[in-house]
Structure 1
Amino acid sequence: MQQVATEPRNEEFSLAERAYRAIRDRLVLLEIRPGAPINEEQLGQSLGVGRTPVREALKRLQYERLIATYPRRGTFATEVNITDLAHISEVRQELEPLAAAQAARRATAADRETLTALRGELDRADPRRQNATELLHLDLQVHRAVYAATHNPYLDDTLVRYDNLATRIWCLFIDRLPDMAGHVGEHGPLIEAIVAGDPERAAQLARNHVTGFERAVRAAI
């Protein structure tokens, strides 16, 4: 009798993680449009992986509310609902300052090196040469680096998911939000506060950033 594997091999784990990250960011940045059908075979071909890693990735993405599966209909990218903005902001207004403060307290030398490198990328960002998607990639990198620096896997996981949902809303109104570079550039002082080990300033800057995000989106509606 053939033994059924309960966990993938290490190689499959890495492929599933690679598939998860790639598909997640396509969904977050609306490269896969809201409501679009999810085709496992096409995704696997575009990523150069088999169906098993794609299926593992889709299970995680369904939990994160980025895709939804319907009986007899299939799997689709979830719609972006602007009415979710208030709920998402409510969570982020509490947790983003906490994460920034904890990052300022707990960041390792490696974390500070990563954040400092991102600070350099922010300084070099030029909206005349970079499109909005490139700036959004940088924005996501900064947020994820801050969350990782908290060294709290539960806080990190929660905030990555909520930041992903917020970014989808941002992408929906990208054409009506002219100051993308200014929004992304706000991370510069935040990174400086974290690297300097100033939790109070880091928390306040993070709170201001979330509040400003919600205000900008509401103004664009």
Structure 2
Amino acid sequence: MSITAETDAGIESLSLAEQAYRALRDKLIMLDIRPGAPINDGQLAAQLGFGRTPVREALKKLEIDHLVISYPRRGTFATIVDITELAAVSELRRVLEPLAARKAAEAAGATLRAELSQLAREIEKLDDDRPEKHDLMRYDLSVHRAIYRAAGNPYLEDTLIRLDNLATRIWCLVLDKVPSVAGHITEHVELLDSIVDGDADRASGLALEHITSFEKTIRAVL
């Protein structure tokens, strides 16, 4: 499966630089490009099927996201995953994730609610498919990005995507130490259904519980 529905939806209408950005962003988030690894724009362009110019433009944007870093005369590298960032990232997410869930429950249109409901039904079937941990993390990204989009505030969406990307990198770094990821993912079903039902208070509360649970799980294995 793709990481998100929004990544696939309307992808052809995006600029080549934006397509390259999204592809590279998700490789960096999931640690397919390992932290600290050198970034060769020519090799990436060949691997992804883009020209070097879109890839270079994508790398500039990824540097703003703190996912890559460039050094004069040394080149560009994937940033190191800094575990100490967890507290600062979680502090912001505890405020903004409930806000996004509330706004989605209050304002999402019928089409977006249908997408969220479909995503919830897919997650309910995960036990039968027994997906790998990294596939479960892709579902986690899918849910969060879908909720941010449904909130209808592009500034909130952009901020939360960047925070969630950093949090996911931390999660992926310790993924093999986490006993079970499935429970964290299935928590999303109730959250998604509360948004679809328009229950803003419940959606907000569940979003806060989810973020708090994530932070506790990570700290427990550090």
TM-score range, shorter chain: over 0.9
Alignment of 1:156-175 (within 5 A): 156-175=157-176
Q: Return the offset for 1:183.
A: 0.4
1:98 paired with 2:99, answer yes
Alignment partners' CA distance in 1, 2:121 and 2:56: 37
Q: Which residue of 1 aligns with 2:196?
A: 195
Q: Which residue of 2 aligns with 1:39?
A: 40
Q: Which residue of 1 aligns with 2:109?
A: 108
Letter in 1 for 2:20: A
Alignment of 1:11-90 (within 5 A): 14-90=15-91
Letter in 2 for 1:205: L
Alignment partners' CA distance in 2, 1:58 and 1:16: 9
Alignment partners' CA distance in 1, 2:13 and 2:206: 40
Q: Return the offset for 1:13.
A: 5.3
Q: Return the offset for 1:129.
A: 3.0
* Cα pair 1:37 1:77 within 8 Å, conserved: yes
Q: Return the offset for 1:15.
A: 1.4
Q: Return the offset for 1:12.
A: 9.9
Gaps of 5+ in 1: 1-10
Alignment partners' CA distance in 2, 1:127 and 1:94: 34
Q: Return the offset for 1:126.
A: 2.9
Alignment partners' CA distance in 2, 1:20 and 1:109: 30
Letter in 2 for 1:170: W
Alignment partners' CA distance in 1, 2:88 and 2:192: 26
Q: Which residue of 1 aligns with 2:8?
A: none
Q: Which has the higher Rg, Structure 1 or Structure 2? A: 1
1:178 paired with 2:174, answer no
Alignment partners' CA distance in 2, 1:99 and 1:127: 30
Q: Which residue of 1 aligns with 2:141?
A: 140
Alignment partners' CA distance in 2, 1:27 and 1:60: 13
The 1:38–1:125 alpha-carbon spacing in structure 2 relative to 1, beyond 3 Å, is: same
1:171-211 superposed Cα distances (whole Å, 9 cap, x missing partner): 01001112201001111000011000011100000000010
Q: Return the offset for 1:16.
A: 1.3
TM-score by length of 1: 0.93
1:29-83 superposed Cα distances (whole Å, 9 cap, x missing partner): 0000000011101111111110111011111110000000111111000000111
Q: Which residue of 2 aligns with 1:208?
A: 209
TM-score by length of 2: 0.92
* Cα pair 1:12 1:53 within 8 Å, conserved: no
Alignment partners' CA distance in 2, 1:12 and 1:199: 33
Q: What RMSD in Å do the two structures reach over aligned CA positions?
A: 1.4
Identity over the aligned pairs, expressed in percent? 56
Q: How many aligned residue pairs are there?
A: 211
* Cα pair 1:13 1:53 within 8 Å, conserved: no
Q: Which residue of 2 aligns with 1:6?
A: none
Gaps of 5+ in 2: 1-11
Q: Mean alpha-carbon deviation: is it higher for 141-150 or for 119-128?
A: 119-128
Alignment partners' CA distance in 1, 2:44 and 2:122: 30
Alignment partners' CA distance in 2, 1:184 and 1:13: 29
Alignment partners' CA distance in 2, 1:100 and 1:12: 28
Q: Return the offset for 1:14.
A: 2.1
